[in-house]
Amino acid sequence: MNTNYGLPELGAGEIVLRLGMATLLGGLVGLNRELKNKPAGLRTHAVVALGSGLAALLALRQLGDAPFDGNGLSRVMQGILTGIGFLGAGVILRSESGKHVHGLTTAATIWLVSMLGVGCGMGYWLPIGVAAGLAFVVLLIGGTIEKGVHRRFKPKPPEPGDDPSL
């Protein structure tokens, strides 16, 4: 039965499915980070996805009590993205030399699982499936491709005796 200005009333099973999928997807992405000994792992990613999914569910419910124009939901998503940005910034570190930055991929995955959580909370299964699948491909083989590209195309340092003006 549709109520709340065209938004469906969600049953307990649907709520468990949406929040469970958010937690599962976040946990799987986090497991990848955990296995690579990154500072934010399975628990952090799972909780971020769960919290974002819950925020989306609560926003849908709250918006159901007022005429639906989408602005309220947009504000909720903006708030989630801003807050998660601060959390992701906490895992980015610069080396002592200042030449290398570590943690960007983990920060990006925290942002990603937040959006996966929002999508699960809203029940947008197709985009969630596509995004999760692409994320796993990038996380599983992206590093190997990146290293190969660096080996192949990284400029070689000059050898002693080379004239840099040539």
Domains of the chain, residue spans? 12-152
When mean pLDDT is compared across 13-22, 23-32, 124-133, 150-159, the lowest value belongs to 150-159
Q: What is the reported pTM?
A: 0.80
Residue 44 pLDDT exceeds 90: yes
* Distance of alpha carbon 145 from alpha carbon 82, whole angstroms: 31
The gap from C-alpha 53 to its chain's centroid, in whole angstroms, comes to: 12
CB atoms within 10 A of CB 26: 31
pLDDT tens per residue, range 102-126: 888 999 999 999 999 999 999 999 9
CA 21 remoteness from chain centre: 14
φ, ψ of residue 34 in degrees (nearest 5): -60, -45
pLDDT band at residue 33 under the 50/70/90 scheme? very high
Where is 102: in which H helix or E strand? strand 101-102
- Which structure tokens are listed for 146? 């990146």
For residue 68, name the pLDDT band (cuts at 50, 70, 90): low
